Structure 1
Amino acid sequence: METLVKLFVYIKPYKSRLVLAALFNLLLAIFTVVTIPAFIPFFQILFDTQASTTSVSAPGILQEIKSFFGNMILTQGKPAALVYVCLFILLATFFKNLFKYLSQYMMSPLRTGIIRDIREKLYDKILQLPLTYFSNERKGDLMSRMTNDVTEIEWSVITTVEALFREPIILIGSLAFMIYVSPALTGIVFLLMIVIGYLIGGVSRRLKKQSQEAQDQLGLVNSTLEETIGGVRIIKGFNAEPFMMNRFKKENDGYRVMSWNMLKRRDLASPLSEFLGVTAVIVLLYVGSKQVFAHQISPEIFLTFIFAFYSVIDPSKALSQAWFNLQKASAALNRIEQVLNTPNDIQNQSNPIVPNGFNHAIQFKNVWFRYQQDQSWVLRNINLEIPKGKTVALVGRSGSGKSTMVDLLPRFYDVTEGEILIDGVNIKSMDLSALRQMFAIVTQEAILFHGSIEDNIRFGSEAPSDEIREFAQVAHAAEFIGHAPGGYASQIGDRGQKLSGGQRQRLTLARALLRKSPLLILDEATSALDSESEKLIQNALDKVLPDKTAIVIAHRLNTIKQADLIVVLEDGAIVQVGTHNELITQGGVYHKMLEQQV
């Protein structure tokens, strides 16, 4: 029930369709139940009991039905009466199936709409989550939650909702007819159903836990697949195919075993319920036949009672299957809600300040940072001022904290202690979207997306085509774009695989420049390039840096000699600050790094 309560939050926008579906299900149930007593005159004609069973007691309405059709047989004959009965059953069956179709017609948009809403809500949450979340979680597992878990909800929970709005009505109507016909026989049915429910419930008790474990294991399978696709070049280069195959086999076989255990339990429900149902019918046939022999119930009413009992079995089986599906869906919904309920500490404060451009300086004041409370400090007591219009280079060995410093500026992470100010305003007080709009970022890894060259340069903006071409020219990308088969409309493949490393990096630079942000972050933007590509990128930067405030991270010290200020970090702390010439004169860490590169 808890799962259904959670699901009704998503159902609420479609409540009008749900009401109509419930109405059609009610009409479906009515015509299903109405069809049951219609078989009394059919059996009455078939067995010629209209005269011989008048002494057998029957409830008032049923006695009237028997008398009505008995008179019809006497006045119009058996063939004519049989035609009327068959037409009535046919008409009732037609309307029953018509309302069944209309119910499903109303439920289909509800079903697809809920799944769309859950996917969109989950995707939006993924976009809002801080970077720390993605450092701790596996991408393949997130993809599994977005695809497999949502699909599980579609086929399990929504099917359950349909069953809950249809089967109980049929069940109640059929049981009401059975109680009306023979309370004694119905009492036996209730007793048998309690036993059946207990036995089937015992099969399903562990299903939710097993389903959760299977879904988690499927997430590991998808994670391995995602890592394989992303690292296929390295896998082939290291002849690691057997290693990765064994790893995948282990995860995949684990999922097979868990799924098998879960399916064994689920698949036992249907044959078990059918066997128990047949057992119940045998008991009813034995007890009911004795009542017929004792003239306590007429044969046609008893056969109709059996028909009504069969009308109870199908809804009971459907509700039993719905219960099993609900256990599986509950596990899937829990995995989705684990993501949706993940707290996001990187958010706007109340009444955030919208900065009016960048006018003076960026200041780091006594900044300390670590990723988690139980980890060591990544940055220690950082104090630094970056004036407007200056180029500041951050240098240091790997792991010294350079990239972490620039990640704090657009609030990819928040400082643990201290504060960062832009024009004297704490960045935590600023509107997050406006703050990030102030920065254009070019990283070492050229992140591109499947699509055209123009789409990747325009990414996230509505810039016209002439501006895109202008900044492609500035980034020295226009030449190779001109030689591409489709020009700016050329498709670059997944993550830009159709382009060289230098071409990808020039596109990311054009994308950053198109943003027209006052602050430019270059995080080792040329370190992975060949000398020719690096020269082209450097020439492009030389054109734009005089008009920007730039923060440059570089391993190759010869690329930052002209920086207005060079900041040297070691073990998360600033150890030297100055121009290239000043730092050479000082000696120390910078001088040693320069000597090592020479």
Structure 2
Amino acid sequence: DSLTVFFLLGYLFILNWRLTLIVAVLLPAIGWLVSKINRRLRRLNREHQLLTNELSYIVEETVGGYKVVKVHNGEQYEMSRFGEMSRRLRGYQMRMTVSGGLAQPLTQFLASIALAIVVTIAVVQASHDQTTVGGFVAFVTSMLLVISPLKHLIDVNQPLQRGMTAAELIFGLIDEPAEPEGGGKPLERARGEIEFRDVSFAYGPEGRPILESVYFSAAPGEMIALAGPSGSGKTTLVNLLPRFFDPSGGQILVDGVPLPEYDIHALRSQIAMVSQDVTLFNDTVANNVAYGQTADPERVEHALRAANLWDTIAALPEGAATLVGDNGMKLSGGQRQRLAIARAIYKDAPILILDEATSALDSESERHVQAALETLMKGRTTLVIAHRLSTIERADRILVMEAGRIVERGSHQQLLEQRGLYAHLHKIQFQQHAA
């Protein structure tokens, strides 16, 4: 279509350059009009895409939290949220349709004006013998032929703008910095020596500091417990070790080497992690236990036995080949957490991170799992986060955190004798347990 328009304009110029100049004068007006419509379409498409994302999020949130919605009778509220977002989305769609629909009739209107002017001038030229009837007919016919490809070019404008808006969002995601791969230093089997040197961390350059001047070291095979009130930075601290985030200041070393110097995959292969938010995949029990590795039936059974879960799994019709469902929905909360512990046991990594690893277990299961964890922790460096202080009394050292800083450190008995924050937290839990 572009080539057709270009060729016909050239032909018109050859036929009658004076009349062609009159047509050419209207081209900037058409260009300006299309450019204004393009800018509006681009803005509306961007807003439409963002609203579509928000609508999808509302649906996902409502479906995922259906238990809370039902128990609090929130159906009408969620329907009103969905309806309001749908109305806003419809409004943007209508404006996009109107804007896109304006381009063609306005362009044709301007072309009709140009045609009327050309016919008028051509009649004057013919009366003065400045053009022939054949030349006039050829010019008008060629000019009418320009309108059809020009219309096609205008029609393609709306989907083109929609595609460009989507491309902006896609390329924005692609241009996000990739996770750093590290310096490439291999790490076959870590000794487990960990050191935090004056580590600080904040989310973003303007964010509030989450960690400030944290320093401690852990010898190979040592168990370090992190205690303190919620929001003190314990989970953020352990998330820095596998480089889920990089510290804003200071250094973290494993076996005396700063983390960025290691290949990131080699580093993470040395770390097993069990968090309070368990993630399971819609796969078999065996594949969840051996996630990231080849499932060895004997090792899977050993890991499940160590996590006090083998009897439950063996009783299932398909045993370890049973699908656990979406995020382990076929298992209870305690079973899901024990399966995550079995995954850590199977990995057999020299560094363990346990973030409230027994929070969802009943007392009997917790006793068995604690015994399994104590066996697992032998010869391994372990960082343990526990709100129940009774589970960390035998730690080699306890670091007490408050507002992103380590305010106390020592053994369980030493911290009780200091009568500080740890002793206060221990007293509160002891009173609750006694009650």
For normalisation by structure 1, the TM-score amounts to 0.63
Q: Report the Cα offset of residue 305 of structure 1.
A: 6.3
Length, aligned pairs only: 428
- Check the 8 A contact 1:348/1:429 in 2, yes or no: no
| Structure 2 partner of 1:335 | 169
Take 2:320 and 2:115, find their aligned partners in 1: how far apart are those partners? 73
CA positional deviation for 1:384: 1.6
| Structure 2 residues not aligned, in runs of 5+ | 431-435
Structure 1 counterpart of 2:275: 443
Label 1:339 to 1:202 Cα distance change in 2 as closer, same or farther (>3 A). closer
Per-residue CA distance 1:430-488 (angstroms, 9 max, x = gap): 22222222111110011123333343333333444554444334333333333344444
Confirm or deny that 1:270 pairs with 2:104: yes
Amino acid at match of 2:289: I
2:93 aligned residue: 259
Q: Which amino acid aligns with 1:252?
A: S
1:558 counterpart = 2:390: yes
Residues 1:502 and 2:300 aligned together: no
Instruction: Describe the superposition over 1:520-561 as per-residue Cα deviations: whole angstroms up to 9, x where unpaired.
Output: 101011213333443443343233222422111111122223
Match of 2:132 among 296, 304, 316: 296
Is 1:420 the counterpart of 2:252? The answer is: yes
CA distance in 2, matches of 1:199, 1:376: 48
Q: Any idea what the Cα deviations from partners look like across 1:257-288, whole Å, max 9, x if unmatched?
A: 23322221112223434555566667777878
In 1: Cα distance, 2:234 partner to 2:116 partner: 79
Q: Following TM superposition, by how much is the alpha carbon of 1:352 offset from its aligned partner in structure 2, in angstroms?
A: 4.1
Q: What is residue 320 of structure 1 aligned with on the other side?
A: 154
Which protein, 1 or 2, shows the higher relative CO under an 8 Å CA cutoff with sep ≥ 6? 2
Confirm or deny: 8 A CA contact 1:292 1:302 kept in the other structure.
no
* Cα distance in 2, alignment partners of residues 190 and 467 from structure 1: 80
2:366 and 2:44 mapped to 1: Cα distance?
54
Structure 1 residue aligned with 2:67: 233
Partner of 2:421: 589
Q: Which residue of 2 aligns with 1:220?
A: 54
Residues 224 and 397, structure 2, Cα contact 8 Å, conserved in 1: yes
Question: CA contact under 8 A between 2:45 and 2:96: conserved in structure 1?
Answer: yes
Aligned CA distance change for structure 1 residues 183 and 408 (closer, same or farther; 3 Å): same
2:433 match: none
Structure 1 runs not aligned, ≥5 long: 1-166
Residue 362 of structure 1 deviates from its aligned partner by 1.0
- Going from structure 1 to structure 2, the CA distance change for 1:474 and 1:305 (only over 3 Å counts) comes to farther
CA deviations on 1:323-353 (whole Å, 9 max, x unpaired) are 4444333333333333333446x6255x443
How far apart in 1 are the matches of 2:272 and 2:144? 69
1-side partners of 2:31 and 2:205: how far apart?
Answer: 50
Q: Distance in 2 between matches of 1:338 and 1:254?
A: 25
Shift of 1:412: 1.9
Counterpart AA for 2:304: A
Kindly name which structure, 1 or 2, has the bigger radius of gyration based on alpha carbons. 1
Q: Report the equivalent of 2:37.
A: 203
Indicate how the Cα distance of structure 1 residues 275 and 510 shifts in structure 2: closer, same or farther if over 3 A, else same. Answer: farther
Change (3 A) 1:315 1:352: same
- Give the 3 Å change call, closer, same or farther, for CA 360–551 of structure 1 in structure 2: closer
Provide the identity percentage: 35
| Contact 1:502–1:534 (8 Å) recurs in 2 | no
Q: Deviations over 1:54-94 (max 9, x none)?
A: xxxxxxxxxxxxxxxxxxxxxxxxxxxxxxxxxxxxxxxxx
Q: Which residue does the alignment assign to 1:534? A: 366
- Which residue, out of 202, 212, 221, partners 1:389? 221
Distance 1:197 1:566, change over 3 A: closer
- Mapped to 2, the partners of 1:270 and 1:489 lie a distance apart of 62
Instruction: Give per-residue Cα distances to partners, 1:477-533, cap 9 Å, x unaligned.
Output: 333333344444433332222321122212222222332321110101121333344
Does the residue aligned with 1:206 lie in a helix, a strand or coil?
A: helix
Q: TM-score, normalised by structure 2?
A: 0.84
Q: Out of 221, 231, 246, which is 2:80 matched to?
A: 246
Q: Does 1:347 align with 2:183?
A: no
CA displacement at 1:420 relative to structure 2: 1.9
The RMSD of aligned alpha carbons is 3.4
Query: Are the equivalent residues in 2 in contact too, given 1:358–1:388 (CA < 8 A)?
Result: no
Amino acid in structure 1 at the alignment position of 2:132: Q
Q: Distance in 2 between matches of 1:533 and 1:258?
A: 55
Deviation at 1:424, TM superposition (A): 1.6
Distance 1:371 1:498 in 2: 36
